Structure 1
Protein backbone atom coordinates (compact mmCIF):
# COMPACT_ATOMS: atom_id res chain seq x y z
CA UNK A 1 0.00 0.00 0.00
CA UNK A 2 1.40 3.38 -1.02
CA UNK A 3 0.36 6.28 1.18
CA UNK A 4 -0.14 9.52 -0.74
CA UNK A 5 -0.45 12.95 0.89
CA UNK A 6 -2.06 15.64 -1.32
CA UNK A 7 -0.81 19.08 -0.20
CA UNK A 8 -2.16 22.45 -1.28
CA UNK A 9 -4.92 25.02 -0.96
CA UNK A 10 -8.63 24.91 -1.85
CA UNK A 11 -7.80 23.37 -5.24
CA UNK A 12 -6.58 20.34 -3.26
CA UNK A 13 -9.20 20.51 -0.52
CA UNK A 14 -12.25 21.03 -2.73
CA UNK A 15 -15.32 22.99 -1.73
CA UNK A 16 -19.09 23.11 -1.76
CA UNK A 17 -19.22 24.69 -5.22
CA UNK A 18 -16.27 23.00 -6.94
CA UNK A 19 -14.60 19.65 -7.31
CA UNK A 20 -11.24 18.40 -6.10
CA UNK A 21 -8.91 16.32 -8.25
CA UNK A 22 -8.54 13.84 -5.39
CA UNK A 23 -11.83 12.07 -6.14
CA UNK A 24 -11.18 11.23 -9.81
CA UNK A 25 -7.53 10.49 -8.98
CA UNK A 26 -8.53 7.93 -6.32
CA UNK A 27 -10.92 6.36 -8.82
CA UNK A 28 -8.22 6.13 -11.49
CA UNK A 29 -5.72 4.55 -9.10
CA UNK A 30 -8.24 1.97 -7.87
CA UNK A 31 -9.48 1.13 -11.37
CA UNK A 32 -5.90 0.59 -12.59
CA UNK A 33 -5.17 -1.77 -9.72
CA UNK A 34 -2.85 0.41 -7.66
CA UNK A 35 -2.70 -0.02 -3.91
CA UNK A 36 -2.91 3.57 -2.70
CA UNK A 37 -4.35 5.37 0.29
CA UNK A 38 -4.64 9.14 0.75
CA UNK A 39 -3.39 10.35 4.14
CA UNK A 40 -3.36 13.64 6.04
CA UNK A 41 -4.80 15.46 9.05
CA UNK A 42 -7.90 16.62 7.16
CA UNK A 43 -10.71 14.87 5.34
CA UNK A 44 -13.25 15.92 2.72
CA UNK A 45 -15.06 14.03 -0.01
CA UNK A 46 -14.22 10.86 1.95
CA UNK A 47 -10.47 11.23 1.34
CA UNK A 48 -7.72 12.49 3.63
CA UNK A 49 -5.39 15.34 2.61
CA UNK A 50 -3.41 18.44 3.60
CA UNK A 51 -5.41 20.95 1.58
CA UNK A 52 -6.25 24.29 3.20
CA UNK A 53 -8.67 26.63 1.46
CA UNK A 54 -7.46 30.22 1.35
CA UNK A 55 -3.95 29.39 2.55
CA UNK A 56 -0.67 29.91 0.69
CA UNK A 57 2.63 28.09 0.30
CA UNK A 58 4.12 29.86 3.31
CA UNK A 59 1.30 28.52 5.50
CA UNK A 60 1.81 25.02 4.11
CA UNK A 61 5.55 25.12 4.81
CA UNK A 62 4.82 26.08 8.43
CA UNK A 63 1.95 23.62 8.98
CA UNK A 64 2.34 20.45 6.94
CA UNK A 65 5.64 19.00 8.23
CA UNK A 66 4.21 18.34 11.71
CA UNK A 67 1.20 16.63 10.14
CA UNK A 68 3.49 14.64 7.85
CA UNK A 69 5.17 13.26 10.98
CA UNK A 70 1.77 12.19 12.35
CA UNK A 71 0.47 10.89 9.01
CA UNK A 72 3.54 9.62 7.12
CA UNK A 73 3.34 9.11 3.38
CA UNK A 74 5.63 7.55 0.80
CA UNK A 75 4.48 10.07 -1.83
CA UNK A 76 3.41 13.71 -1.59
CA UNK A 77 1.61 15.76 -4.23
CA UNK A 78 2.23 19.50 -3.93
CA UNK A 79 0.03 21.97 -5.81
CA UNK A 80 0.58 25.36 -4.16
CA UNK A 81 1.02 28.89 -5.41
CA UNK A 82 -2.35 30.63 -5.31
CA UNK A 83 -3.66 32.93 -2.56
CA UNK A 84 -1.27 35.78 -3.15
CA UNK A 85 -1.68 39.05 -5.07
CA UNK A 86 0.50 40.08 -8.00
CA UNK A 87 1.24 43.36 -6.16
CA UNK A 88 3.06 41.37 -3.48
CA UNK A 89 5.61 40.14 -6.05
CA UNK A 90 5.19 36.76 -4.36
CA UNK A 91 7.11 34.40 -6.63
CA UNK A 92 10.41 34.35 -4.72
CA UNK A 93 8.58 33.81 -1.44
CA UNK A 94 6.42 31.00 -2.82
CA UNK A 95 9.47 29.24 -4.24
CA UNK A 96 11.36 29.62 -0.97
CA UNK A 97 8.40 28.27 1.02
CA UNK A 98 8.01 25.34 -1.37
CA UNK A 99 11.70 24.48 -1.05
CA UNK A 100 11.43 24.78 2.74
CA UNK A 101 8.44 22.41 2.73
CA UNK A 102 10.20 19.82 0.58
CA UNK A 103 13.37 20.06 2.70
CA UNK A 104 11.34 19.55 5.89
CA UNK A 105 9.53 16.53 4.45
CA UNK A 106 12.83 15.02 3.34
CA UNK A 107 14.34 15.63 6.78
CA UNK A 108 11.49 13.62 8.30
CA UNK A 109 11.66 10.91 5.62
CA UNK A 110 14.65 11.03 3.26
CA UNK A 111 12.94 8.47 0.98
CA UNK A 112 9.72 10.45 0.42
CA UNK A 113 8.85 10.81 -3.25
CA UNK A 114 7.82 14.38 -4.05
CA UNK A 115 5.64 15.33 -7.01
CA UNK A 116 5.68 19.10 -7.48
CA UNK A 117 3.11 20.72 -9.75
CA UNK A 118 3.33 23.72 -11.95
CA UNK A 119 0.02 25.17 -10.81
CA UNK A 120 -3.11 25.67 -12.88
CA UNK A 121 -3.60 29.11 -14.44
CA UNK A 122 -6.39 31.36 -13.21
CA UNK A 123 -8.51 33.97 -14.94
CA UNK A 124 -8.83 36.08 -11.79
CA UNK A 125 -6.65 38.89 -13.04
CA UNK A 126 -4.59 40.86 -12.31
CA UNK A 127 -4.46 39.01 -8.95
CA UNK A 128 -2.95 35.85 -10.43
CA UNK A 129 -0.87 37.42 -13.19
CA UNK A 130 2.24 36.10 -11.42
CA UNK A 131 1.40 32.43 -12.06
CA UNK A 132 3.24 32.06 -15.41
CA UNK A 133 6.44 33.36 -13.78
CA UNK A 134 5.84 31.11 -10.77
CA UNK A 135 5.47 28.05 -12.98
CA UNK A 136 8.83 28.69 -14.65
CA UNK A 137 10.32 28.84 -11.16
CA UNK A 138 8.53 25.69 -9.98
CA UNK A 139 9.81 23.71 -12.98
CA UNK A 140 13.36 24.87 -12.24
CA UNK A 141 12.92 24.08 -8.53
CA UNK A 142 11.76 20.54 -9.34
CA UNK A 143 14.89 19.97 -11.41
CA UNK A 144 17.22 21.48 -8.83
CA UNK A 145 15.75 19.50 -5.93
CA UNK A 146 15.50 16.33 -8.05
CA UNK A 147 11.79 15.87 -7.45
CA UNK A 148 9.19 14.85 -10.03
CA UNK A 149 7.81 17.88 -11.81
CA UNK A 150 4.17 17.62 -12.92
CA UNK A 151 2.98 20.19 -15.44
CA UNK A 152 -0.58 20.95 -14.38
CA UNK A 153 -0.58 24.26 -16.27
CA UNK A 154 -0.20 23.22 -19.91
CA UNK A 155 -3.56 22.30 -21.39
CA UNK A 156 -5.54 23.65 -18.43
CA UNK A 157 -7.78 26.45 -19.74
CA UNK A 158 -9.44 28.58 -17.10
CA UNK A 159 -12.07 29.62 -19.66
CA UNK A 160 -13.44 26.05 -19.84
CA UNK A 161 -11.89 24.19 -16.87
CA UNK A 162 -12.92 26.37 -13.92
CA UNK A 163 -16.15 27.42 -12.25
CA UNK A 164 -17.47 31.00 -12.50
CA UNK A 165 -14.72 32.39 -10.24
CA UNK A 166 -12.13 31.49 -12.94
CA UNK A 167 -9.90 29.86 -10.31
CA UNK A 168 -11.32 26.59 -8.99
CA UNK A 169 -11.64 23.52 -11.21
CA UNK A 170 -14.98 22.35 -12.51
CA UNK A 171 -15.49 18.61 -13.13
CA UNK A 172 -13.58 18.80 -16.43
CA UNK A 173 -10.73 20.70 -14.80
CA UNK A 174 -10.53 18.27 -11.89
CA UNK A 175 -10.36 15.41 -14.37
CA UNK A 176 -7.40 17.09 -16.14
CA UNK A 177 -5.57 17.54 -12.83
CA UNK A 178 -6.27 13.94 -11.83
CA UNK A 179 -5.00 12.60 -15.14
CA UNK A 180 -1.69 14.49 -14.87
CA UNK A 181 -1.16 13.29 -11.30
CA UNK A 182 -2.11 9.74 -12.32
CA UNK A 183 0.36 9.71 -15.20
CA UNK A 184 3.16 10.74 -12.83
CA UNK A 185 2.07 8.42 -10.02
CA UNK A 186 2.17 5.32 -12.21
CA UNK A 187 5.96 5.41 -11.86
CA UNK A 188 5.93 5.40 -8.06
CA UNK A 189 2.80 3.61 -6.74
CA UNK A 190 2.57 -0.15 -6.15
CA UNK A 191 0.12 -2.30 -8.10
CA UNK A 192 -1.89 -4.98 -6.34
Structure 2
Protein backbone atom coordinates (compact mmCIF):
# COMPACT_ATOMS: atom_id res chain seq x y z
CA UNK A 1 0.00 0.00 0.00
CA UNK A 2 1.49 3.35 -0.95
CA UNK A 3 -0.52 5.14 1.72
CA UNK A 4 0.16 4.60 5.37
CA UNK A 5 -1.61 7.71 6.53
CA UNK A 6 -5.28 8.56 6.36
CA UNK A 7 -6.49 10.04 3.11
CA UNK A 8 -9.76 10.77 1.48
CA UNK A 9 -12.05 7.77 1.08
CA UNK A 10 -11.85 7.65 -2.70
CA UNK A 11 -8.08 7.56 -2.83
CA UNK A 12 -7.95 5.01 -0.02
CA UNK A 13 -10.34 2.66 -1.80
CA UNK A 14 -8.29 2.94 -4.95
CA UNK A 15 -5.24 1.89 -2.97
CA UNK A 16 -7.09 -1.05 -1.46
CA UNK A 17 -8.20 -2.19 -4.88
CA UNK A 18 -4.62 -2.26 -6.10
CA UNK A 19 -3.40 -4.03 -2.98
CA UNK A 20 -6.06 -6.74 -3.43
CA UNK A 21 -4.99 -7.32 -7.00
CA UNK A 22 -8.02 -5.70 -8.59
CA UNK A 23 -5.79 -4.77 -11.53
CA UNK A 24 -5.30 -7.97 -13.49
CA UNK A 25 -1.81 -9.07 -14.37
CA UNK A 26 -0.08 -7.66 -11.30
CA UNK A 27 2.43 -10.01 -9.73
CA UNK A 28 5.77 -11.69 -10.06
CA UNK A 29 7.57 -11.30 -13.35
CA UNK A 30 7.37 -13.97 -16.02
CA UNK A 31 10.79 -13.07 -17.44
CA UNK A 32 9.28 -11.62 -20.59
CA UNK A 33 12.61 -11.18 -22.34
CA UNK A 34 12.72 -9.98 -25.92
CA UNK A 35 16.45 -9.37 -26.03
CA UNK A 36 18.10 -6.02 -26.51
CA UNK A 37 19.34 -3.52 -23.96
CA UNK A 38 18.11 -4.39 -20.45
CA UNK A 39 16.23 -1.52 -18.79
CA UNK A 40 15.05 -1.79 -15.17
CA UNK A 41 12.16 0.52 -14.17
CA UNK A 42 12.79 0.81 -10.41
CA UNK A 43 10.69 2.38 -7.69
CA UNK A 44 7.31 2.27 -5.96
CA UNK A 45 3.67 2.28 -7.12
CA UNK A 46 4.39 5.09 -9.59
CA UNK A 47 6.73 2.69 -11.38
CA UNK A 48 4.22 -0.15 -11.01
CA UNK A 49 1.48 2.03 -12.47
CA UNK A 50 -1.10 2.29 -9.72
CA UNK A 51 -4.38 3.75 -11.02
CA UNK A 52 -3.21 3.24 -14.62
CA UNK A 53 -1.71 -0.29 -14.82
CA UNK A 54 1.66 -0.12 -16.55
CA UNK A 55 2.01 3.59 -15.83
CA UNK A 56 4.81 5.42 -17.63
CA UNK A 57 6.15 2.13 -18.95
CA UNK A 58 3.39 2.06 -21.57
CA UNK A 59 4.35 5.32 -23.22
CA UNK A 60 8.04 4.63 -22.84
CA UNK A 61 7.75 1.22 -24.50
CA UNK A 62 5.72 2.70 -27.35
CA UNK A 63 8.32 5.42 -27.93
CA UNK A 64 11.13 2.88 -27.91
CA UNK A 65 9.26 0.69 -30.38
CA UNK A 66 8.44 3.65 -32.64
CA UNK A 67 12.12 4.58 -32.64
CA UNK A 68 13.01 0.96 -33.51
CA UNK A 69 15.08 0.50 -30.38
CA UNK A 70 15.40 -3.04 -29.09
CA UNK A 71 14.98 -3.21 -25.34
CA UNK A 72 14.15 -5.66 -22.59
CA UNK A 73 12.38 -4.35 -19.50
CA UNK A 74 13.60 -6.40 -16.53
CA UNK A 75 12.56 -6.96 -12.94
CA UNK A 76 10.79 -9.34 -10.59
CA UNK A 77 7.34 -7.77 -11.07
CA UNK A 78 4.91 -8.02 -13.98
CA UNK A 79 1.81 -6.00 -14.92
CA UNK A 80 0.23 -3.78 -17.51
CA UNK A 81 -2.05 -3.89 -20.55
CA UNK A 82 -1.53 -5.66 -23.84
CA UNK A 83 -0.15 -2.60 -25.61
CA UNK A 84 2.77 -2.65 -23.18
CA UNK A 85 5.07 -4.99 -25.06
CA UNK A 86 7.19 -5.99 -22.05
CA UNK A 87 5.51 -6.09 -18.64
CA UNK A 88 8.55 -6.74 -16.40
CA UNK A 89 9.57 -4.09 -13.88
CA UNK A 90 10.78 -3.49 -10.33
CA UNK A 91 8.01 -1.23 -9.02
CA UNK A 92 6.79 -1.97 -5.48
CA UNK A 93 3.71 -0.13 -4.15
CA UNK A 94 4.27 1.39 -0.74
CA UNK A 95 8.03 0.91 -0.69
CA UNK A 96 10.44 3.50 0.60
CA UNK A 97 14.06 4.10 -0.36
CA UNK A 98 15.40 1.80 2.37
CA UNK A 99 13.19 -1.08 1.23
CA UNK A 100 14.39 -0.80 -2.36
CA UNK A 101 17.95 -0.56 -1.07
CA UNK A 102 17.59 -3.77 0.94
CA UNK A 103 16.83 -5.71 -2.25
CA UNK A 104 18.76 -3.97 -5.00
CA UNK A 105 21.91 -6.09 -4.86
CA UNK A 106 19.94 -9.27 -5.48
CA UNK A 107 17.88 -7.77 -8.27
CA UNK A 108 21.01 -6.39 -9.92
CA UNK A 109 22.68 -9.81 -9.81
CA UNK A 110 19.60 -11.51 -11.21
CA UNK A 111 18.76 -9.12 -14.02
CA UNK A 112 22.07 -7.29 -14.69
CA UNK A 113 20.43 -4.13 -16.07
CA UNK A 114 22.28 -1.97 -18.56
CA UNK A 115 20.07 0.99 -17.63
CA UNK A 116 18.17 1.80 -14.43
CA UNK A 117 15.24 4.25 -14.20
CA UNK A 118 14.94 5.24 -10.54
CA UNK A 119 11.95 7.17 -9.18
CA UNK A 120 11.81 6.73 -5.40
CA UNK A 121 11.17 8.77 -2.27
CA UNK A 122 7.43 9.45 -2.50
CA UNK A 123 6.62 6.98 0.29
CA UNK A 124 9.34 8.39 2.52
CA UNK A 125 7.39 11.66 2.32
CA UNK A 126 3.89 10.13 2.58
CA UNK A 127 4.86 8.01 5.57
CA UNK A 128 6.85 10.87 7.12
CA UNK A 129 9.68 8.37 7.48
CA UNK A 130 12.76 10.30 8.64
CA UNK A 131 12.36 12.62 5.69
CA UNK A 132 15.47 14.61 6.60
CA UNK A 133 17.49 11.42 6.14
CA UNK A 134 15.95 10.57 2.77
CA UNK A 135 18.68 12.27 0.68
CA UNK A 136 21.40 10.22 2.36
CA UNK A 137 19.36 7.04 1.87
CA UNK A 138 18.98 7.90 -1.80
CA UNK A 139 22.70 8.56 -2.15
CA UNK A 140 23.48 5.21 -0.54
CA UNK A 141 21.01 3.43 -2.82
CA UNK A 142 22.62 4.94 -5.91
CA UNK A 143 26.03 3.85 -4.63
CA UNK A 144 24.74 0.30 -4.20
CA UNK A 145 23.34 0.28 -7.73
CA UNK A 146 26.55 1.57 -9.29
CA UNK A 147 28.60 -0.92 -7.25
CA UNK A 148 26.42 -3.84 -8.32
CA UNK A 149 26.29 -2.85 -12.00
CA UNK A 150 29.20 -0.42 -12.52
CA UNK A 151 28.75 -0.19 -16.29
CA UNK A 152 25.05 0.69 -16.05
CA UNK A 153 23.63 4.14 -16.68
CA UNK A 154 21.51 5.13 -13.68
CA UNK A 155 18.85 7.80 -14.26
CA UNK A 156 17.74 9.38 -10.99
CA UNK A 157 14.45 11.27 -11.12
CA UNK A 158 13.12 13.94 -8.84
CA UNK A 159 9.79 12.74 -7.43
CA UNK A 160 6.60 14.02 -9.00
CA UNK A 161 4.35 16.58 -7.28
CA UNK A 162 1.93 15.75 -4.45
CA UNK A 163 -1.44 17.42 -3.99
CA UNK A 164 -1.15 17.85 -0.22
CA UNK A 165 0.65 21.15 0.32
CA UNK A 166 2.65 20.03 3.36
CA UNK A 167 3.82 16.88 1.65
CA UNK A 168 4.57 18.80 -1.53
CA UNK A 169 6.81 21.12 0.46
CA UNK A 170 8.64 18.08 1.86
CA UNK A 171 8.91 16.63 -1.65
CA UNK A 172 10.42 19.86 -2.97
CA UNK A 173 12.94 19.95 -0.13
CA UNK A 174 13.93 16.36 -0.91
CA UNK A 175 14.09 17.05 -4.65
CA UNK A 176 16.36 20.04 -4.11
CA UNK A 177 19.07 17.70 -2.83
CA UNK A 178 19.00 15.35 -5.80
CA UNK A 179 21.05 17.41 -8.31
CA UNK A 180 23.90 17.57 -5.80
CA UNK A 181 23.69 13.84 -5.15
CA UNK A 182 23.83 13.12 -8.87
CA UNK A 183 26.71 15.53 -9.41
CA UNK A 184 28.72 13.90 -6.62
CA UNK A 185 28.36 10.54 -8.38
CA UNK A 186 29.34 12.04 -11.73
CA UNK A 187 32.40 13.60 -10.09
CA UNK A 188 33.31 10.15 -8.81
CA UNK A 189 33.21 8.77 -12.35
CA UNK A 190 29.84 7.04 -12.08
CA UNK A 191 27.33 6.85 -14.93
CA UNK A 192 24.55 8.71 -13.12
CA UNK A 193 22.14 11.18 -14.71
CA UNK A 194 19.50 13.56 -13.39
CA UNK A 195 15.93 13.61 -14.71
CA UNK A 196 13.82 16.50 -13.39
CA UNK A 197 10.52 14.62 -13.35
CA UNK A 198 8.87 16.99 -10.87
CA UNK A 199 9.00 19.79 -13.43
CA UNK A 200 7.17 17.70 -16.03
CA UNK A 201 3.93 17.26 -14.10
CA UNK A 202 1.55 19.40 -12.05
CA UNK A 203 -1.11 18.41 -9.55
CA UNK A 204 -3.59 18.58 -12.43
CA UNK A 205 -1.85 15.47 -13.77
CA UNK A 206 -2.71 13.46 -10.62
CA UNK A 207 -5.72 11.19 -10.39
CA UNK A 208 -5.79 10.85 -6.60
CA UNK A 209 -3.35 13.47 -5.38
CA UNK A 210 -0.45 11.00 -5.59
CA UNK A 211 -0.53 8.91 -8.76
CA UNK A 212 -0.62 10.32 -12.29
CA UNK A 213 -3.49 10.15 -14.71
CA UNK A 214 -2.84 8.41 -18.02
CA UNK A 215 -1.74 11.79 -19.40
CA UNK A 216 0.55 12.35 -16.43
CA UNK A 217 2.16 8.96 -16.82
CA UNK A 218 2.72 9.70 -20.50
CA UNK A 219 4.48 12.93 -19.56
CA UNK A 220 6.77 10.83 -17.40
CA UNK A 221 7.34 8.48 -20.34
CA UNK A 222 8.33 11.39 -22.56
CA UNK A 223 10.79 12.67 -19.94
CA UNK A 224 12.41 9.26 -19.51
CA UNK A 225 12.66 8.79 -23.27
CA UNK A 226 14.31 12.18 -23.82
CA UNK A 227 16.81 11.44 -21.06
CA UNK A 228 17.60 8.02 -22.47
CA UNK A 229 18.09 9.32 -25.99
CA UNK A 230 20.58 11.84 -24.62
CA UNK A 231 22.89 9.17 -23.20
CA UNK A 232 24.61 7.07 -25.83
CA UNK A 233 24.19 3.34 -25.31
CA UNK A 234 21.53 3.54 -22.61
CA UNK A 235 18.90 2.14 -24.98
CA UNK A 236 21.19 1.00 -27.77
CA UNK A 237 20.83 2.22 -31.34
CA UNK A 238 17.70 2.29 -33.48
CA UNK A 239 17.25 -0.86 -35.53
CA UNK A 240 16.20 1.19 -38.53
CA UNK A 241 15.33 4.70 -39.65
CA UNK A 242 13.77 6.86 -36.98
CA UNK A 243 11.57 9.68 -38.28
CA UNK A 244 11.93 11.86 -35.20
CA UNK A 245 15.61 12.15 -34.30
CA UNK A 246 17.85 13.03 -37.22
CA UNK A 247 21.30 11.47 -37.43
CA UNK A 248 24.12 13.55 -36.04
CA UNK A 249 27.26 14.31 -38.03
CA UNK A 250 30.41 12.44 -37.19
CA UNK A 251 32.97 13.86 -34.81
CA UNK A 252 35.06 16.76 -36.04
CA UNK A 253 36.03 20.29 -34.97
CA UNK A 254 34.40 23.14 -36.90
CA UNK A 255 32.84 26.55 -36.54
CA UNK A 256 29.05 26.66 -36.41
CA UNK A 257 27.43 29.52 -38.34
CA UNK A 258 23.90 30.83 -37.93
CA UNK A 259 21.77 30.82 -41.08
CA UNK A 260 19.95 34.02 -40.12
CA UNK A 261 22.91 36.05 -38.90
CA UNK A 262 25.87 34.57 -40.82
CA UNK A 263 27.71 34.86 -37.50
CA UNK A 264 29.31 32.03 -35.53
CA UNK A 265 28.61 30.26 -32.26
CA UNK A 266 31.08 32.00 -29.94
CA UNK A 267 32.12 31.84 -26.27
CA UNK A 268 31.85 35.39 -24.93
CA UNK A 269 35.21 37.08 -24.47
CA UNK A 270 37.06 33.88 -25.37
CA UNK A 271 36.67 32.96 -21.70
CA UNK A 272 37.23 29.38 -20.56
CA UNK A 273 35.36 29.83 -17.27
CA UNK A 274 32.35 27.64 -16.56
CA UNK A 275 29.19 29.70 -16.74
CA UNK A 276 30.36 31.94 -19.59
CA UNK A 277 27.43 32.64 -21.90
CA UNK A 278 27.50 31.72 -25.57
CA UNK A 279 26.68 34.30 -28.25
CA UNK A 280 26.86 34.98 -31.97
CA UNK A 281 29.90 36.86 -33.30
CA UNK A 282 31.68 37.48 -36.57
CA UNK A 283 33.32 34.23 -37.64
CA UNK A 284 37.06 34.45 -37.00
CA UNK A 285 38.36 30.90 -36.67
CA UNK A 286 39.58 31.35 -33.10
CA UNK A 287 39.48 28.62 -30.47
CA UNK A 288 36.34 29.99 -28.80
CA UNK A 289 34.46 29.31 -32.05
CA UNK A 290 35.74 25.77 -32.63
CA UNK A 291 33.22 23.11 -31.62
CA UNK A 292 33.52 19.34 -31.60
CA UNK A 293 30.43 17.15 -31.78
CA UNK A 294 31.32 13.98 -29.90
CA UNK A 295 29.82 10.52 -30.23
CA UNK A 296 28.15 11.16 -26.84
CA UNK A 297 26.20 14.09 -28.31
CA UNK A 298 28.27 16.81 -26.64
CA UNK A 299 29.32 20.03 -28.32
CA UNK A 300 32.78 20.62 -26.86
CA UNK A 301 34.94 23.72 -26.97
CA UNK A 302 38.51 24.07 -25.62
CA UNK A 303 38.52 20.25 -25.33
CA UNK A 304 36.90 19.99 -21.91
CA UNK A 305 34.02 22.48 -21.86
CA UNK A 306 30.55 21.61 -23.12
CA UNK A 307 27.67 23.62 -24.52
CA UNK A 308 25.28 23.56 -21.57
CA UNK A 309 21.70 24.66 -20.84
CA UNK A 310 21.72 26.75 -17.67
CA UNK A 311 20.66 24.79 -14.55
CA UNK A 312 19.25 21.96 -16.68
CA UNK A 313 16.26 24.12 -17.55
CA UNK A 314 13.77 22.95 -20.15
CA UNK A 315 11.99 26.32 -20.37
CA UNK A 316 11.80 28.56 -23.40
CA UNK A 317 14.38 31.32 -22.98
CA UNK A 318 16.83 29.34 -20.84
CA UNK A 319 20.34 30.65 -21.43
CA UNK A 320 23.14 28.63 -22.99
CA UNK A 321 26.62 28.63 -21.50
CA UNK A 322 29.77 26.54 -21.34
CA UNK A 323 30.43 24.24 -18.41
CA UNK A 324 32.74 21.40 -17.45
CA UNK A 325 31.57 18.33 -19.40
CA UNK A 326 29.63 16.03 -17.06
CA UNK A 327 27.53 13.77 -19.28
CA UNK A 328 24.18 15.12 -18.10
CA UNK A 329 21.21 15.59 -20.40
CA UNK A 330 21.50 19.39 -20.52
CA UNK A 331 24.81 18.94 -22.35
CA UNK A 332 23.44 16.68 -25.10
CA UNK A 333 22.70 18.02 -28.58
CA UNK A 334 21.84 16.70 -32.02
CA UNK A 335 21.85 18.23 -35.48
CA UNK A 336 18.45 17.86 -37.15
CA UNK A 337 17.95 17.56 -40.89
CA UNK A 338 16.53 21.10 -41.13
CA UNK A 339 19.75 22.58 -39.71
CA UNK A 340 18.49 23.12 -36.17
CA UNK A 341 20.56 22.07 -33.16
CA UNK A 342 18.30 20.36 -30.65
CA UNK A 343 18.97 20.29 -26.91
CA UNK A 344 17.85 16.71 -26.40
CA UNK A 345 17.24 17.04 -22.67
CA UNK A 346 14.73 19.84 -23.22
CA UNK A 347 13.72 18.90 -26.79
CA UNK A 348 14.15 22.55 -27.76
CA UNK A 349 16.31 24.32 -30.31
CA UNK A 350 19.39 26.52 -30.05
CA UNK A 351 17.93 29.93 -30.80
CA UNK A 352 19.07 33.52 -31.46
CA UNK A 353 16.57 35.70 -29.52
CA UNK A 354 14.21 37.87 -31.54
CA UNK A 355 15.85 36.85 -34.83
CA UNK A 356 18.69 39.26 -34.06
CA UNK A 357 21.76 39.35 -36.29
CA UNK A 358 23.90 41.62 -34.08
CA UNK A 359 27.27 40.72 -32.64
CA UNK A 360 27.10 39.77 -28.98
CA UNK A 361 23.53 38.48 -28.82
CA UNK A 362 23.40 35.75 -26.18
CA UNK A 363 21.82 32.46 -27.18
CA UNK A 364 18.96 30.53 -25.61
CA UNK A 365 16.84 27.45 -26.16
CA UNK A 366 13.34 27.82 -27.56
CA UNK A 367 10.57 25.63 -28.92
CA UNK A 368 11.66 24.49 -32.36
CA UNK A 369 10.04 26.35 -35.24
CA UNK A 370 12.42 25.96 -38.16
CA UNK A 371 13.07 29.69 -38.66
CA UNK A 372 16.46 31.00 -39.75
CA UNK A 373 17.41 32.03 -36.21
CA UNK A 374 17.31 28.34 -35.27
CA UNK A 375 19.24 26.96 -38.24
CA UNK A 376 23.00 26.39 -38.21
CA UNK A 377 25.70 25.15 -40.52
CA UNK A 378 29.01 23.52 -39.63
CA UNK A 379 31.74 25.35 -41.59
TM-score of the pair, normalised by structure 1: 0.91
Matched, 1:155 2:200: yes
Candidates 95, 116, 120, aligned match of 1:76: 116
Candidates 54, 64, 89, aligned match of 1:29: 64
Unaligned runs of 5+ residues in structure 1 are none
- Corresponding residue for 1:170? 213
* Structure 2 Cα separation of the partners of residues 69 and 101 of structure 1: 15
For residue 89 of structure 1, report the CA deviation from its aligned partner.
7.0
CA contact (8 A) 1:25 1:181 kept: yes
* Structure 2 Cα separation of the partners of residues 86 and 42 of structure 1: 23
* Structure 1 Cα separation of the partners of residues 126 and 144 of structure 2: 27
For residue 144 of structure 1, report the CA deviation from its aligned partner.
1.1
* Structure 2 Cα separation of the partners of residues 168 and 57 of structure 1: 18
* Structure 1 Cα separation of the partners of residues 63 and 211 of structure 2: 21
CA contact (8 A) 1:39 1:49 kept: yes
Tell me, what secondary structure is at the counterpart of 2:176? helix
Tell me, what secondary structure is at the counterpart of 2:225? helix
* Structure 2 Cα separation of the partners of residues 88 and 78 of structure 1: 20
- Tell me which moved more, 126-135 or 182-191: 126-135
* Structure 2 Cα separation of the partners of residues 109 and 155 of structure 1: 28
* Structure 1 Cα separation of the partners of residues 124 and 149 of structure 2: 29
For residue 91 of structure 1, report the CA deviation from its aligned partner.
3.7
Give the CA RMSD over aligned residues. 1.7
Q: Which has the higher contact order (CA 8 A, sep 6+)?
A: 1
Tell me, what secondary structure is at the counterpart of 2:162? coil
Structure 1 pair 51–25 and aligned structure 2 pair: CA distance change class (3 A)? same
CA contact (8 A) 1:84 1:127 kept: no
CA contact (8 A) 2:108 2:149 kept: no
Higher Rg of the two aligned structures: 2
Q: Structure 1 residue runs of 4+, over 6 Å off?
A: none
* Structure 1 Cα separation of the partners of residues 49 and 130 of structure 2: 24
Tell me, what secondary structure is at the counterpart of 2:124? coil
Matched, 1:185 2:228: yes
* Structure 1 Cα separation of the partners of residues 132 and 109 of structure 2: 27
Unaligned runs of 5+ residues in structure 2 are 1-35, 81-85, 187-191, 240-379
CA contact (8 A) 1:7 1:50 kept: yes
Candidates 166, 172, 178, aligned match of 1:126: 166
Tell me, what secondary structure is at the counterpart of 1:99? helix
* Structure 2 Cα separation of the partners of residues 68 and 102 of structure 1: 12
- Tell me which moved more, 94-103 or 139-148: 94-103
CA contact (8 A) 2:97 2:121 kept: yes
Count of residue pairs brought into register by the alignment: 189
- Tell me which moved more, 172-181 or 116-125: 116-125
TM-score of the pair, normalised by structure 2: 0.48
CA contact (8 A) 1:79 1:116 kept: yes
